[in-house]
Structure 1
Amino acid sequence: MGPTRIAYFDVDGTLTTDTSLFRFLDFYLAATGRPPRAYQQARQELKAMTAMGIPRVETNRAYFDNLAGARAADVASLARAWFQQELHHGGYFNDHAVRALRQHQENGDLTILVSGSFPALLEPIATWLGTDETWCTSPQIRNGRYTGRLSAPPMIGQRKADTVLLSASVHRADIRNCTAYGDHVSDLPMLHTTGRAVVVGGDEALRRIAQCRGWRLLPAAPLSPCRTKGA
């Protein structure tokens, strides 16, 4: 066997064509009997935080307020049902990024998800993709229920980079032979960490950086009409 190589993938907007956190929140609120305006209100509050310049780390924390009091088993069950619905509708995955992931798998590389999303939501995605590990945000669960808080800082920004370095060390992989995939400027620390980086999608600021650094570019897959509701 040759030296270990690892491909690290952001999920939302990189492997997927939309933000799974919001797609699931829409599904979750409807499935638990909330009116449609509940999702719109939650989404607008998070958008307002972003518009005010509040860092993505903090908007990620705020997202999990929506799960406060929910039974962890119920959230996991609904996440699996949500994912099956996404597969049924089609257009959920970015075929360009998934094709790259499959190529890494065929080459014998480890494939690892590094995401600001959370375990219940990522488990069916990781199973379907056949990836090796998942590193993500950890919502706090006590007595089987979400508290609305986090157990550790969200898996965003520099924390992704630190996690990639730790993972490479654990697997005794040369970070220079590893590859990172991301779609947002918050992925830059991770993209800078590995020897190779790939930018997915149309983030203009990130694409300019990629062009300057000679990083590979992959296009964003177009959203199908049925995917516009959670935008």
Structure 2
Amino acid sequence: MLTAVEIPLLLILERLILPEDRPRLWRLFSHFNCRTLLFLIGVRVKKERAPSPLSPPLVFASNHPALLDGFICFAIFGPDTIFLTAPHKSVSFPFNVMFQRMGLVEVTRDDYDALHYPGALPPKKALQHMIVSLQKGLSAYVFPEGHVERLGQLLYIHTGTARIAVSSGVPVQPLVLLGSDCILLGKIRVRPGVLTVRFGSRIPPARVTPARPYRKAVREMTERIESTFEDLLPAHMLSDHENEEPKQIAAFFDIDRTIYEGFSQKDFLRFLSDTHRLSHVKALRLFGMVFLEKTGLLSHDDLLRQVFSFLRGWKEEYLNQLSKRFFEERALLNVSAHILPYLKTHREAGHKVVLITEVAHPLARVFEEYVYANAVIDTRLETRDGRYTGRVLHLCRAGEKANAAGLYASRHGIKLTHSYAYADSTSDLPLLELVGHPVAVHPDQALHHIARERAWPVLS
């Protein structure tokens, strides 16, 4: 980490050397500062089964239990290691400037990054930059999960590490970090502790042959990397049901304040008002009802029924089109980046991903398509001759979510004791209590208290 004094100094010093040598100058200073910072904090690094030598070029691959992992690993492995990082603009100043000057390679990990950080490199270009670094005699460091393990368990392993190794012919050195999540408290508070770096056996690059085409070689290497992680990590950092039949496991996700940061239907009403598809009189009446609900003079169920009554006479196809337009123009910007890795992890594990929400079907269906869910259980509105009548057929909230999840499980052979639920509110408590693995996501105060009492994971 560079201080406010060192950054201007380095900006001056780099003018005195060749442009191609400037990134290493920044990496040298950053490496020194990271080591100094760990020493001052009182973080002691303990290496287990460390092979010798660890000289470049190598492709280091590790798990990602805490936000500080990159800084810690940079302090350990030094200035001749290039890291594949999240988009630089996703981190605050001065770290974003530091990453750029150090020559670290930023990559768009998913659709969220591509939308919010268009300057970051797409995966193919980012991996090519890493391969070029290896060809120059440097090492590469990759977190194959792509995101921090916010719930303390290994996430889906992406193929990028294997692609780099197969394309460059450089072996992979797998390792796991144990204890970094205990050193970091909150976002910036740290405390003294021991970080264990446990090394696995080096994995030679799979050779591409007629019998083993590129994709097969990448898949084999990815499986070996994941298998090595599983051998090195303690049991509590692995999935609880790896040996269960994945098709018998479901992952239920709420939409509002879980996948979506806010209340999508409320924002949809604003969108309708802003685009003049809802008269000012109706808009005022609707937001007046929201005020009554906030003051306790109107129940949430009655509020929803009143809101949906305004759709009387609207064509189904028209509302479907507006829902898609709202999602593309506004809702996408409010999709939670923290929940996307868990959606992908469940999908790749073969679990049934089910959205379960009070959001009305036209809008909920757009979310379903975006996250590639297997099904959506939502609020259903009555239609007649292709138009909405304004009546609610099924309001999917509170205890009704649990009933609907139970019905879905019985119809699809799902074991609820092995399944997962992600939700944000105490109204979702029946759903969370129904499954074996409840997760409180951005929980309200009451649910946060319950989650802590029952030792449920909290994702916030």
Q: TM-score range by the shorter chain?
A: 0.7 to 0.9
* Matching of residue 102 in structure 1 with residue 344 in structure 2: yes
Q: 1:52 matched to which residue of 2?
A: 296
> Structure 2 matches for 1:118-133, cutoff 5 A?
118-133=360-375
Cα drift, residue 36 of structure 1: 5.2
User: What RMSD over aligned residues (CA atoms) do the two structures have, in Å?
Assistant: 1.8
SS at match of 2:438: strand
2:413 to 135, 157, 172: 172
State the SS of the aligned residue for 1:96: coil
- The Cα of 1:35 is off from its aligned counterpart by 4.8
Which residue does the alignment assign to 1:15?
Answer: 259
Letter in 1 for 2:318: D
Q: Distance in 2 between matches of 1:137 and 1:35?
A: 24
TM-score (norm 2): 0.45
Residue segments in structure 1 that go unaligned for 5+ positions in a row: 220-231
5 Å-filtered alignment, 1:1-231, equals 2-3=245-246, 4-35=248-279, 38-52=282-296, 54-86=298-330, 90=333, 92-152=334-394, 154-219=395-460
Inter-CA distance 177–33: structure 2 relative to 1 (3 Å threshold): closer
How many equivalent pairs are there? Answer: 216
Shift of 1:29: 3.4
Secondary structure (helix, strand or coil) at the match of 1:48 reads helix
> Relative CO higher for 1 or 2, CA cutoff 8 Å, sep ≥ 6?
1
Structure 1 residue ranges (4+ consecutive) displaced by more than 3 angstroms after TM superposition: 29-38
Contact 1:60 1:116 in 2 (8 A): no
- What residue identity is the alignment partner of 2:315? R
Shift of 1:34: 3.7
Deviation at 1:51, TM superposition (A): 1.8
Matched residue, 2:237:
none
Deviations 1:50-106 (A, max 9, x none): 422543222222220221221111111111111110256x2x111112221111112
* Counterpart secondary structure, 1:140: strand
For structure 2, the 5+ residue unaligned runs are 1-243
- 2:405 maps to amino acid: V
Aligned to 2:60: none
Per-residue deviation at 1:30? Answer: 3.7
Q: Is the 8 A contact 2:289 2:298 kept in 1?
A: no
Give SS of 2:330's match.
helix
**C-alpha contact 1:181 1:198 (8 A) present in aligned 2:** yes
Deviation string for 1:12-41 (max 9, x for gaps)? 111100111111112223435445564344
Structure 1: which amino acid aligns with 2:263?
T
3-state DSSP class of the match of 1:14? coil
Q: Secondary structure at the match of 1:18?
A: coil
Task: Name the CA distance, whole Å, in 2 between partners of 1:164 and 1:23.
Answer: 26
| Identity fraction in percent | 26
Q: Give the stretch that moved more between structures: 141-150 or 207-216.
A: 141-150
